[in-house]
Amino acid sequence: MTTTQGPRQRLLLSAITLMCERGVHATGLTDLLTHSRTARGSIYQHFPAGKSELFEAATYAAGRTITALLDNLLATRTPAHAIDGIIDYWEQVLTGSDYTMGCPILAAAQAGSQEPSVQAASAAVFATWTDKIATALHQAGTEPTTAKVIASTAVSAVEGAIAQSRGARTTQPLDDARIAVKLLIESALPAAGSPAGTAASA
């Protein structure tokens, strides 16, 4: 965290980090203030609704960062290899943090009914990822309804594997998800020599 960042950005970054490490409910205002080195009044100055508004904004901010990575991967790789890239990213996060950091969007989804705006933000981010992967699969030749199902399953598989990997302190669940999602995607793509396959590769 650099000294040039203003209090709003510091609060957002601290909220994302603490969500990854502890979850929403286990992170209090004092934790956020200490971690961000921010005065108490700054929270309500930048997030008038308090902790809920801060975590909602943090969820969208984290989502935009990961979405940008996904966009880049989908623009430069096949759908299956894009998922490879996402899994590589999360394996680096997990091993680099000694398995203390999870996915902030998953943490937001688990915030519970007391934080409906935070949960809604997580649902919106997951939907964005699903739509982007589904679009890429459709462009590669997968039937639209099937593409949406596979994309949703891919997101669920990766997110579940992140949680499982963190708990078991091994990236094996992510490696398993990599294989399973790749097989699922390949099973839904047209054969290379088929008319649909030819059109998709044109």
pLDDT of residue 201: 39
In this predicted structure, what is the pLDDT of residue 124?
Answer: 98
Residues 6+ apart with CB under 8 A from 177: 87, 157, 158, 160, 161
Task: Give the whole-angstrom CA distance, residue 142 versus residue 200.
Answer: 9
Q: What is the mean pLDDT of the chain?
A: 92
Q: Would you call 34 exposed, middle or buried from its count of C-beta atoms within 10 A (0-12, 13-18, 19+)?
A: exposed
The pLDDT tens digits for 53-72 are 999 999 999 999 999 999 99
| pLDDT tens by residue, 83-100 | 999 999 999 999 999 999
Residue range 113-122: mean pLDDT, rounded: 95
Q: Which two tokens stand for residue 11?
A: 């609060």
What are the b/e assignments for 175-200, b being 16+ CB within 10 Å?
A: eebbeebbebbeebbbeeeeeeeeeb
For residues 161-182, give the mean pLDDT. Answer: 98
Q: What is the CATH number of domain 62-201?
A: 1.10.357.10
Q: Are 184 and 178 in contact (CB under 8 A)?
A: no
Burial of 123 (0-12, 13-18, 19+ CB in 10 A): middle
Query: Whole-prediction pTM value?
Result: 0.90
> Which residue from 178, 171, 20 is spatially nearest to 95, judged by alpha carbons?
171
Domain locations in the chain as residue ranges: 62-201
* Average pLDDT over every residue of 100-119: 95
pLDDT score for 136: 98
In terms of Cα–Cα distance, which of 166, 154, 5 is closest to 73? 154
Q: Which is nearest to 15 in space by CA: 1, 200, 163?
A: 1
pLDDT-derived band at 3, boundaries 50, 70, 90: very low
At residue 1, the pLDDT reads 39
pLDDT grade, residue 40 (50/70/90)? confident
Lowest mean pLDDT among 1-5, 149-153, 192-196: 192-196
